[in-house]
Chains A and B, each alone.
Chain A
Amino acid sequence: MRKITAREISSAVAALSMEANFTLRKDILDALKRAYSSEKAAKAKKILGILIENAAIAKRTKTAICQDTGMAEVFIDIGQQAAVTGGGLAEAVNEGIRCGYNKGYLRKSVVSDPLLRKNTGDNSPAVIHTRIVPGGRMKITVMPKGFGSENKTLIKMFNPTQGTGDIGRFIVEAVRKAGADACPPYILGVGIGGTIDKACILAKEALLRPLGRRNAKAHIARLERELKKKVNALKIGPMGFGGNATCLGVNIEEYPTHIAGLPVCVSISCHATRSATKTI
């Protein structure tokens, strides 16, 4: 067994919380720059320019890219030959969140009970997703998820006889309904298949995939490209000012499903889609 201490995990989570909030992902920054270069609509272009400047200021001054530093979602791939020592995994992750959000002057946006709504004061707990994988290492990804965009998530159980046409219309309609509320240009994470909970996690995992990388399956990759075009034809654009940049990319993850169903989840994520990863 390879030992990984709870302290190592906390320290990695703390560092990743700050990195994700201060440094815009390179794939997203590059996509914003490409959108800026090709944009013809003057108002939209100006906003794209400010978003690029915003990322530079955030990185330079260690100020959060967006004030909504999110509820932290933490994805952990745990090697089956690894053992966590010196404390529990969930507590180690939450200690990392507390430390990172305090030290990084990040906003504490989590309430301890969804109905009583008292702020926990330290942004814990995180939402933790674990997977057991081969090997002896641990891959940790912190995704601070803002709720302006989280609130626009849609799920739907399609009939198994429906197909890409229906799914496509559902996704385009989800973006049309979100309008400019959730901070376009968007990154769309889509989960198709499994059970509804699986589809939701797939949609989140899709957001973690770099924008330039298409799904390995040709028919899914084609759907990703088609949907990007259709969503951009909505001409919502940054702040709703039109132009060609309503979404920077559509990432779809799929999973086997049941003969009776076709679950779909679309996670609309803002231009400040944030995540950072480290393997220990």
Chain B
Amino acid sequence: MPRRIQLPLTTEVISSLKAGDEVLLNGYVYTARDQAHLRFVKAICGKKTPGMIKGRTIYYAGPTPACPGRAIGSCGPTTSSRMDLFTPRLLKAGLKGMIGKGSRSQDVKLAIKRYKAVYFITIAGAGAYLSEKITEAKPVLYKDLGAEAVYMLKLKDFPAIVGIDSRGKEI
């Protein structure tokens, strides 16, 4: 049975998660893709770290717009490795969780271990299925980016698997 996890992630939960564990995520996450990552890192360098980083979980996703009567449109993960260049800096700034698809670089793996974080993978290409596991969505930052804006999402039993655990062990 998958284990139900409440977000934000606590130190105890992070250290208990092992690569390959199936989980159901509950609570708030923030979406961020390429351009948002670029802006995050610029903001961190300017000593203005955005609030959605420290202690939080980021979901690499850009949803389709919601049809009337639905919280969100299709919302599956995008390729995580495109964020690899920025991730160690975000982890240093306190990011604790990431959700995406595919493998990560050696640098990211080392940073996950060093800063005690966790990388989850979720079901790639199942955006319609995953949209039913999201109960709220609103754009909160960089709205000028359109599909790439940062959204705050509320997850309800959102399925994922631990891809890299806080010991740096990979699935």
Report which A residues bind B (CB closer than 8 A).
47, 50-51, 53-55, 57-58, 61-69, 105-109, 117, 119, 121, 148, 151, 179-183, 239-240, 270-272
Contacts and interface: CB of A to CB of B under 8 A. Distances in A.
A102 to B, nearest CB: 9
A57 B74 CA distance: 10
Given A64-B128, A181-B102, A119 B145 contact: yes
Contact of B63 (A55, A107, A117): A107
Contacts of B126: 50-51, 54, 66
B129 A54 contact: yes
Q: Which of B75, B102, B145 has the most CB of A within 10 A?
A: B102
B64 A50 contact: no
A63 B125 contact: no
Contact of A180 (B64, B124, B128, B146): B124
Contact of B128 (A47, A61, A270): A61
User: What class of interface size applies to chain B in its complex with A?
Assistant: 35 or more
Interface string B149-171: 00000000000010000000001
Contacts of A61: 67, 70, 128
Contacts of A66: 74, 76, 125-128
Contact of A270 (B63, B125, B146): B125
B9 interface: no
B70 A63 contact: yes
Contacts of A119: 145-148
A105 B101 contact: no
Contact of B62 (A51, A107, A270, A271): A107
Interface of B: 35, 61-67, 70, 73-76, 78-79, 81, 101-103, 121, 123-129, 131-132, 145-148, 161, 171
Contacts of A270: 124-125
A183 B101 contact: yes
Contact of B132 (A57, A105, A108, A180): A57
B64 A105 contact: yes
Given A67-B74, A148-B79, A183 B64 contact: no
B62 A67 contact: yes
26 contacts: A50-B129, A54-B123, A54-B126, A54-B127, A57-B131, A57-B132, A58-B128, A62-B67, A63-B64, A63-B73, A63-B128, A64-B64, A64-B74, A65-B127, A67-B73, A67-B74, A67-B76, A68-B78, A69-B74, A105-B64, A107-B73, A148-B101, A151-B79, A181-B103, A239-B101, A239-B121
Contacts of B75: 67
B147 A107 contact: yes
Contacts of B131: 57, 63
B125 A272 contact: yes
Q: Which 3 A-B pairs have the closest CB atoms?
A: A181-B102, A58-B128, A64-B74
B149 to A, nearest CB: 10
B38 to A, nearest CB: 10
B73 to A, nearest CB: 6
B128 A109 contact: no
B103 A179 contact: yes
